[in-house]
Amino acid sequence: MKIMVAMSGGVDSSAAVAFLLQQGHEVAGATFLLCEPLSLSPEEAAKHSPAVRDAKDICTQLGIPHYTLDLRCRFEEKVRRPFVEGYLAGITPNPCVDCNKHIKFPAFWDFAREKGYDRIATGHYAFISRGEDGISRLKKAHSLEKDQSYMLYNLTEELLNCIELPLGSYTKGEIRAFAAELGLAVSTKPDSQDICFIPDKNAGSYIASYLEQMGISLPAGSFIDSEGKELGPHKGIWNYTLGQHKKLGIALGSPRYVSAIDPAKNTVTLVENEQLIFSKIAFARDVNLLHPNEYPGKFRANVKPRYGKREAAAVIYPPEDNSGLFCVEFEEPQRALTPGQSLVFYNGDELIGGGVCVLK
């Protein structure tokens, strides 16, 4: 087949290219312009992009074509701006999920198809099983330590049929060793950051800088207790997430936990009793089921409430009204179910869907 691979310039996507070449496919690489300044022309942005440079070098070494896709405007509209707006609305967004939903798969597939390619591929650690019944199923990577299926729950049946995930059967160590055997310069390159547009991992500082660039000034707010009593000033609601108890910026003599964020009142509620941030019920908006016909009513699933957290048994109820909200009822109370994070549903090792957490 003709397969175009999304290349970040890192070891995973480079190894994905090499695997597909070894399997006899006709392969090309493609790198997205996402975080580069919009003031630069596409040519200038590509010239100054380390990801483009490294990916091009790998493609040259392997003797395959390389393309550059300018998706900066779409990335700003669908990922970066909603990320900031989400924190200002008191939620904790997941930009990597949004990027996969709006950028990495649909836009990339449209581009590859226009260029005459049969499928697209990425370096995600997940696995696609293609059954004799013609149904493609998304499953966890064989190495659960690196599994990235959580980030892919917005894929559809149509997209699953045109995607390859070559790394799903391997560990990170095996991938680095494979890249080293081929003499790929990226074999020792460090893993990419969690959020590509926040290299120092400080979301609060990024949002403050973004607001400053936009000329937006927000008034100072307060920490309050569950009775509404003011405890002291906070640094901006975008610096906090439900369940947080470290780096609050206030000393009260005993641990406190964020239990609520109210953007209208510009307050962050702190409680002493950690049990108050546990709950059994959450709601999910924008739910995507990869095979919706298989789940017409309520169903049981293991639900991962946040990347890095363990799955927990739950029953998922479809909407009973026009709200579009699915109800997720856990068997056991869960800590800090967080608005804006993804609730992802599994049946064993198969990812069956997910949605964005909402609390009522």
H helices of the chain, in order, are: 11-22, 42-47, 50-62, 72-75, 81-88, 95-99, 106-114, 157-160, 172-181, 203-213
* Helix (H/G/I), strand (E/B), else coil: 198: coil
99 assigned to active site = yes
Say which of 35, 59, 96, 99 is annotated catalytic.
Answer: 99
Strands 278-289 and 326-335 turn out to be: antiparallel
196 assigned to active site = yes
Own/partner long-range contacts of 40-44 (Cβ < 8 Å, ≥24 apart): 42/68, 42/70
Q: What is the DSSP track for 37-65? A: -TTS-HHHHHHT-HHHHHHHHHHHHHT--
Instruction: Give the N- to C-terminal CA distance of the chain in Å, as an integer.
Output: 48
Contacts of 245 (CB under 8 A, 6+ apart): 255, 256, 257, 258, 274
Beta bridge partners of residue 70, listed in sequence order: 33
**Residues that are catalytic:** 99, 196
